[in-house]
């Protein structure tokens, strides 16, 4: 277990003094009262680290005090576990601290209760409930994020490795993106790095060792800081310049995303320039661009078009002093605090307003994502779909485009014109027939770029088609399209099922009566008669079984009295297959030329008498296949994720003792097995091998690639 240096817990007078330094109007008596109450009710409770339990709420309060939040947050943090872990009641908190604080503590308690269910409840359902709980007041989420930050700092004290991994995964997939969405970069970075350390310990160690082997980096940062400062001061600007290495997690993600090794990373450093006012941001940009070589295509203006979470800054990438590629961010002090502390900073800059009601977390463009997710929740078919679409909304970089009236629409990078239509309104998306981008007619699938002005033409006769889902990447658009297609298909299956049942009943001499179906659903798998008809239309329930409901069955008793008996309904079992769009039982084969795995974009090639061969969409062999074979647009049935797929990698590595063992060990630690390994090229300096690896999905294969790239001895890893 990793050794952890414990710092002294914050003391009562230190916390109060910290609050009074940035907010003289702090209710000191109420904070002291909450501090004493927290220590009293948690009593002799201990954490898994062996520390007194009340250390935890004190540290959570201290984290929020570092963000200069008011005493409502601090008191909520001090009391956030009292209802959950002690005999304290809501009524008691309301009596002692007021209704507002009691409601906030109750909100955090509900989120904590969801967290405890995670081991037995699907993550998607937990997240749906979490979002509904926090959407009423984002202050609840802010306290919960601070609680998660402190828990991640002490995660090593949890002895169960599976529990540690589950908490880390949940942190990376849900809490870090939520921190990013409310603009708290400080929380996001810390949560990502702790999660990375627990989920990929070997990769984390490799990245940290690589950084440690670059002792000149810190000196280089100081030298570049000095150089940039001189350039700006010579231009009569008074600035602050801060340089830093990028975080271990962001470095690992770059290695994974760009398909490169650590040595090939050229932009490991980032610099922030803090100026006095908005005008000086652009003056500093001009001085920087006139003094250094700008990397084309890497300038972004998030001041004139802020991100959805309120983030503002100028971004540019340069070939700076000492010929190093460096990222530069230019912002004012207020912009910097919004970047670091998000909604907390928004409140801080509004706290001079006497009317606290003026601080409304549900107003403003930076919180429009909350409304978007509520809309997705309305249209999603189930919690898993909601989680999938929500991740699409939270994880991607953004581009900014404009309506004909000049309204700014923020969308994920690589979004299409159709995504734009759905971003305006669901009905605009459903009825979209064509579009103009910058005055030019374009297809709906056209990718949009920063600064595009887009005009959508609609028609009442237009309807979404299943193929539209391939052209959109936003969760909102996917949810709307899927809902429409589901509704349309449901109507079609309902009509087909009714027709099939009526015909089957006519052959037996019976008439259709919906009441008979309704009487027979109580013991079965359907909710109503309509569901039975739809299942018949889909082919997932036998029409013969339903016909039995209409046949009177009798059993003579001892007294020869006749008793009517309802027939038992027997649902047919259909074998699950990993591909949607194919008939159950159809023979499928995975192409040996491209080795598709779960998560790849795929296409099916029909081979008469032999079934369907599955290829990746970009497989080079597709161009050689005659068109008369027939091609099928397919998607994966991700609910059936128990199969193993063969992923093929080509690895080039340095020829030295133990190299092959290190590679096989890294693959094994990612939870995968090597099925086959072939040496295709061998020299004095390098080996080149092809290896087939059994994986569950594309994500696992990408993690293996990223893990291999963190090894010093690996030169190149490519998928075959």
Active site residues: 84-85
701 close to 695: Cβ distance less than 8 angstroms = yes
Strands 562-565 and 588-590, bridge-based pairing: unpaired
CA distance 717 to 258: 11
Spatial neighbors of 561 by CB under 8 A, at least 6 apart, are none
432 close to 401: Cβ distance less than 8 angstroms = no
CA distances from 90 to 2, 49, 57 (A): 39, 28, 18
Spatial neighbors of 606 by CB under 8 A, at least 6 apart, are 612, 629, 630, 631, 632
Look at residues 267, 262, 278, 268 and name the one whose alpha carbon lies nearest to residue 245: 268
Please give the helix or strand (H or E) that residue 134 lies within, else none: helix 123-134
- Find residue 248's DSSP bridge partners: none
- Tokens 């008691």 found at: 92
CA distance 604 to 591: 10
CA distances from 70 to 48, 147, 344 (A): 30, 17, 10
CA dihedral (617, 618, 624, 625) in degrees, to 10, reads -10
SS (H, E, C) 42-90: HCCCECCCCCECCHHHHHHHHHHHHCCCCHHHHHHHHHCCHHHHCCCCH
655 close to 636: Cβ distance less than 8 angstroms = no
**497 is written with which tokens?**
């099922």
Cα 568 to chain centroid, rounded: 44
CA distances from 652 to 204, 266, 449, 678, 718 (A): 22, 21, 36, 12, 9
Compute the Cα dihedral for 693, 699, 700, 705 and give only its sign. positive
CA distances from 254 to 176, 178, 264, 268, 423 (A): 17, 21, 10, 10, 29
52 close to 29: Cβ distance less than 8 angstroms = no
Spatial neighbors of 91 by CB under 8 A, at least 6 apart, are none
Question: Which ranges in 469-599 belong to alpha helices (H)?
Answer: 475-508, 514-519, 529-538, 543-547
CA distance 224 to 322: 8
CA distance 213 to 656: 20
Spatial neighbors of 184 by CB under 8 A, at least 6 apart, are 142, 145, 340, 341, 342, 343, 344
């Amino acid at each position: 277990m990793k050794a952890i240096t414990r710092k002294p817990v914050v003391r009562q007078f230190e916390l109060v003094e910290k609050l009074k330094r940035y907010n003289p109007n702090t209710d000191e008596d109420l904070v002291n009262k909450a501090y004493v109450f927290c220590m009293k009710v948690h009593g002799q409770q201990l954490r898994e680290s062996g520390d007194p339990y009340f250390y935890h709420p004190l540290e959570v309060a201290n984290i929020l005090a570092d963000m200069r939040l008011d005493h409502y947050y601090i008191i909520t943090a001090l009391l956030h576990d009292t209802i959950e872990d002690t005999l304290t009641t809501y009524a008691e908190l309301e009596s002692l601290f007021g209704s507002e604080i009691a409601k906030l503590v109750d909100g955090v308690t509900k989120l904590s209760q969801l967290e405890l269910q995670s081991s037995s409840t699907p993550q998607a359902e937990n997240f749906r409930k979490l979002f509904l709980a926090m959407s009423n007041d984002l202050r609840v989420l802010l306290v919960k994020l601070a609680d998660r930050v402190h828990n991640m700092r002490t995660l090593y004290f949890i002895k169960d490795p599976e529990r540690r991994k589950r908490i880390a995964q949940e942190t990376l997939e849900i809490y870090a993106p939520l921190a990013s969405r409310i603009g708290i970069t400080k929380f996001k970075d810390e949560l990502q790095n702790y999660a990375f350390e627990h989920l990929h310990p070997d990769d984390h160690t490799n990245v940290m060792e690589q950084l440690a082997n670059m002792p000149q980096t810190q000196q280089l940062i100081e030298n570049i800081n000095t150089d940039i400062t001189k350039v700006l001061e010579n231009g009569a600007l008074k600035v602050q310049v801060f340089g830093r290495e990028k975080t271990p997690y962001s470095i690992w993600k770059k290695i994974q995303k760009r398909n490169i090794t650590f040595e090939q990373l050229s932009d490991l450093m980032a610099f922030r320039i803090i100026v006095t006012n908005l005008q000086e941001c652009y003056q500093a940009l001009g001085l920087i661009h006139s003094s250094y070589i700008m990397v084309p295509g890497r300038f972004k203006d998030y001041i004139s078009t802020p991100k959805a979470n309120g983030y503002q800054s100028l971004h540019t990438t340069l070939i700076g002093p000492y010929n190093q590629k460096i990222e530069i961010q230019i912002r004012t002090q207020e912009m910097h605090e919004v970047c670091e502390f998000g909604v907390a900073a928004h409140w801080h800059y509004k706290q001079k307003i006497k009317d606290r009601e003026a601080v409304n977390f549900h107003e403003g463009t930076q919180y429009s994502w909350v409304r978007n997710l509520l809309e997705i929740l309305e249209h999603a078919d189930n919690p898993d779909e909601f989680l999938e679409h929500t991740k699409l909304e939270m994880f991607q970089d953004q581009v900014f485009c404009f309506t004909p009236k000049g309204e700014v629409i923020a969308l994920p990078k690589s979004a299409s014109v159709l995504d734009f239509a759905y971003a305006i309104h669901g009905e605009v998306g459903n009825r979209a027939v064509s579009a103009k981008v910058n005055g030019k007619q374009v297809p709906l699938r056209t990718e949009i770029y920063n600064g595009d002005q887009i005009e959508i033409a609609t028609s009442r006769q237009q309807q979404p088609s299943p193929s539209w889902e391939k052209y959109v990447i936003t969760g909102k658009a996917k949810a709307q399209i899927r809902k429409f297609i589901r509704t349309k298909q449901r109507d079609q299956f309902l009509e087909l099922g009714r027709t099939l049942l009526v015909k089957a009943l006519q052959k037996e001499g019976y008439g259709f009566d919906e009441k008979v179906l309704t009487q027979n659903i109580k013991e079965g798998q359907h909710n109503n008669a309509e569901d039975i008809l739809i299942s018949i239309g889909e082919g997932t329930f036998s029409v013969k079984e339903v016909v039995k409901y209409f046949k009177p069955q009798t059993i003579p008793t001892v007294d020869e009295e006749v008793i009517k008996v309802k027939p038992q309904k027997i649902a047919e079992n259909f074998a699950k297959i990993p591909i949607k769009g194919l008939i159950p039982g159809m023979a499928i084969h995975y192409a040996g030329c491209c080795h598709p795995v779960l998560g790849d974009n795929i296409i099916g090639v029909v081979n008469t008498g032999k079934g369907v061969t599955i290829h990746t969409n970009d497989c080079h062999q597709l161009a050689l296949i005659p068109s008369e074979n027939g091609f099928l647009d397919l998607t994966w049935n991700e609910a059936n994720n128990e199969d193993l797929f063969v992923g093929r990698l080509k690895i080039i590595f340095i020829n030295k003792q133990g190299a092959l063992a290190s590679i096989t060990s890294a693959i094994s630690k990612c939870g995968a097995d090597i099925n086959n390994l072939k040496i295709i090229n061998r020299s004095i300096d390098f080996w080149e091998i092809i290896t087939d690896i059994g994986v569950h999905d594309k994500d696992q294969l990408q993690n293996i690639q990223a893990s291999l790239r963190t090894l010093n001895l690996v030169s190149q890893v490519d998928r075959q």
